[in-house]
Amino acid sequence: MTTTARRADGTNAQNAEYTAANIQVLEGLEAVRRRPGMYIGSTDQRGLHHLIYEIVDNAVDEAMAGFCDRVEVLIQPDGSVSIQDNGRGIPVDRHEKTGLSALETVLTVLHAGGKFGGGGYKVSGGLHGVGASVVNALSEELTAEVAKDGALYRQSYQRGAPTGSLEKVRGEKPEQNGTRISFKPDSEIFETLDYDFATLAARFREMAYLTKGLWIQFIDLRGDGQEQNFYFDSGIEAYVRHVNRGRNPLHADPIVIQGERDNISIEVALQYNGSFSESVHSFANCINTIDGGSHMTGFRSALTRALNDYARRAKLLKDDDPNLSGDDVREGLSAVISVKLPEPQFEGQTKTRLGSPEVKGLVDSLVAASLNTYLDENPAVGRRIIEKALTASRAREAARKARDLVQRKGVLEGSMLPGKLADCSESNPEYSEIYLVEGESAGGSAKSARDRRTQAILPLRGKILNVEKARLDKMLAHEEIRVLITALGTGFGDDFDIAKLRYGKVIIMTDADVDGAHIRTLLLTFFYRFMPELIDHGHLYIAQPPLYSAQQGRNVTWLYSDAEREAFFSVERKNVNMQRYKGLGEMNPDQLWTTTMDPATRSLLKVEVNDAERADDLFTKLMGDEVPPRKSFIMTHALSATLDV
């Protein structure tokens, strides 16, 4: 089979090479029609908009290359769209490889756009760069008109296939070069032909900001008709002003940074406002890189460094102050970063992050150097920005503390019981009790000694902190306290709920020595201060281990105080083996059970606060800042003073 193609100059070309190429072309376009989603994402309104973007991008590329300053987008009442620019006009001469005109190649060969012609693009946009051929394949009808060198050329297509050859329109002598592509999306492919004016307008606005000096006219002839024009002399500087409108800018004019190196153009505009949010938009070749990438990374690093350097130079940060963080310097920041480069690499699932690693260092060094200069020349602005960042830093520190508190509370409310807790099997608090035991070794003894059905053991390591002086948040930073609260199950602070107490008796069991007394007092203080209900409802107890054992043959007598000891020796005793117990760990589990833990034989002190005021006063005295007299005072007075024995 041979196919006849009429060339732009009106002659016919017949050859096998062309035939093979043409079959490939038709197969390519057929593939697009079979699986449109692969090329434009979807066939809903988004996909529909994508067709327009694709063609407008090509015109904007021509503008970025400096050959075009006007783009008109026109939606007709029947849903067809035409996009016209005043660029050089798509070339119409014969394309080497395909034997077709360059225009037909662009419109029928997948991915051909921008890759032909010696004067191709320096940079190329396009959302996915699928090219005009995809738009052509998905259009019922498409007509391309090119005004070039005083002549007008035209060619039409249906669903991607040319309906005739490229013709030179007789009698037309256009004075200006340019391109107009008009197409009607295929209703067999698209679920809707209903464009959204506002969505399209927002995109055109963005493109106009990013291509300073480009005029985009958008006319919608459907319904009552609408028109919007976008033109920004100052490009992204105007973009930043737009973002900051109504946001109370901290300085009158955006800071503008521009430069070009290694064929990569970099433009940054930034302006702080009174808000707390960050609004930084980054683009690579006019594509909105919503996931950032190397240009964003370079910018952030430069901003943080330059502002810290300036703050130190200007003595707004003292030598021993920590640096401002990235988050601090970006609070209330509005910025636009736009880079243009020959072959951008996009990464990520949606290709919305710029890879191109070489961009990072270029942006970083340009932004840092420019900011340094700007801040030195505009110290009043510099001071305002640094003061804002310092405020952000302080607020962040306060928020962090509050958040820590909340998070810890979350831990306390969780269902996870601490690992150190040897719980009992009884879950009814009426029948269960928990021993708070000082030290691991005593804890071990108590675990062996206990009735595991009703008695839980929680060993507490070392000295719990001095709760009288500690604030709520500091106290919760203490592991032992968190473990204790979790084991009790009541929650804490505002969330305290006595009904959730997991044990009817909370028993403090400490050594009968100075340290034991100290820890006991600390625990009492904690409960008194932070869980007074526990005392009010009569849940808090103190275990009474013996001080001495007196062994006579097989008889062992346990003596719980010096008074008992004296009474014991007030009668004649022979061959008594007296032992003083210093620590709970010195008793074997059997002994601990019979003397201290067996409900049938033990004695417990119930903690009662009869006179709250007096107790409060005492605790304050005990736990105040004067350390030296404290220990002896605790030993001699604490228990008797606060406890109703």
Coil vs helix vs strand at 49? helix
Is residue 438 among the annotated active site residues?
yes
Question: Among residues 54 and 426, whose Cβ is nearest to ligand 0RA?
Answer: 54
Is residue 644 among the annotated active site residues?
no
Identified catalytic residue from 54, 61, 438, 480: 438
Question: Among residues 59 and 622, whose Cβ is nearest to ligand 0RA?
Answer: 59
Identified catalytic residue from 54, 423, 426, 511: 511
- What is the Cα 73 distance to its own chain's centre? 38
As a whole number of angstroms, the distance between CA 252 and CA 235 comes to 17
Question: Among residues 85 and 206, whose Cβ is nearest to ligand 0RA?
Answer: 85
Say if residue 483 is exposed, middle or buried (CB neighbours under 10 Å; 0-12, 13-18, 19+).
buried
Question: Dihedral, CA atoms, 617, 621, 624, 628, nearest 10 degrees?
Answer: -170
Tell me the backbone φ, ψ of residue 556, rounded to 5 degrees: -120, 125
Question: Among residues 121 and 503, whose Cβ is nearest to ligand 0RA?
Answer: 121
Tell me the backbone φ, ψ of residue 356, rounded to 5 degrees: 25, 75
Question: Among residues 135 and 329, whose Cβ is nearest to ligand 0RA?
Answer: 135
Decide: 375 and 251 in contact? Cβ < 8 Å: no
Buried b (16+ CB within 10 A) or exposed e, 100-134: bbbbbbbbbbbebbbebeeeebebbbbbbbbbbbb
Q: How far is the CB of 206 from ligand 0RA (least distance, A)?
A: 19
Q: How far is the CB of 391 from ligand 0RA (least distance, A)?
A: 49
Q: How far is the CB of 149 from ligand 0RA (least distance, A)?
A: 8
Identified catalytic residue from 140, 291, 515, 598: 515
CA dihedral over 460, 433, 645, 589, signed as positive or negative: negative
Question: Among residues 132 and 587, whose Cβ is nearest to ligand 0RA?
Answer: 132
Coil vs helix vs strand at 335? strand
Cβ atoms within 10 A of the Cβ of 256, count? 18
Q: How far is the CB of 132 from ligand 0RA (least distance, A)?
A: 7
As a whole number of angstroms, the distance between CA 541 and CA 641 comes to 15
Q: How far is the CB of 91 from ligand 0RA (least distance, A)?
A: 5
Q: How far is the CB of 24 from ligand 0RA (least distance, A)?
A: 22
Question: Among residues 87 and 443, whose Cβ is nearest to ligand 0RA?
Answer: 87
* Alpha-carbon distances of 604 from 127, 277, 344, 458, rounded to whole Å: 78, 59, 78, 18
As a whole number of angstroms, the distance between CA 486 and CA 412 comes to 5
Residue type, 486: T
Coil vs helix vs strand at 54? helix
Q: How far is the CB of 172 from ligand 0RA (least distance, A)?
A: 18
The residues that touch ligand 0RA, with contacts defined as CB under 6 A, are: 58-59, 62, 85, 87-91, 117, 119-120, 179
Identified catalytic residue from 44, 188, 513, 626: 513
Q: Catalogue the active-site residues.
A: 438, 511, 513, 515
